[in-house]
Amino acid sequence: MARARAAGPSTARSTIMPFAQIYMIEGRTEEQKRAVIEKVTAALVEAVGAPKENVRVWVHDVPKENWGIAGVSAKSLGR
């Protein structure tokens, strides 16, 4: 007799493939970005049980003139 399978996404460890997008104002060093990627990866491995090899992290460098804070660009604010 076949068993019914629960609806919803698979939670098998090998199928978990988290993709994190990090937006930061430009100006971080390559070393700082590397640290962000490593720590976000480790957090996702711990939090959702994804294999490290399945985790993807995309760091977006946003130009200061394209980042608004309280109606003013970060560049205008001297950030």
**2-49 pLDDT tens trace:** 444 444 455 566 688 999 999 999 999 999 999 999 999 999 999 999
- In DSSP terms, which residues pair with 47 in a beta bridge? none
CA distance 46 to 60: 23
Q: What is the bridge-based pairing of β-strands 56-62 and 72-73?
A: unpaired
Q: Record the tokens describing residue 77, joined without a space.
A: 């604010």
Average pLDDT over residues 73-79: 95
Task: Check the CA dihedral 44-46-50-51 and report its sign.
Answer: positive
Residue from 9, 18, 51, 63 carrying the catalytic annotation: 18
Confirm or reject CATH 3.30.429.10 for domain 17-73, answering yes or no: yes
- Please confirm, yes or no, whether 18 is among the known catalytic residues: yes
Give the predicted TM-score (pTM) of the model: 0.77
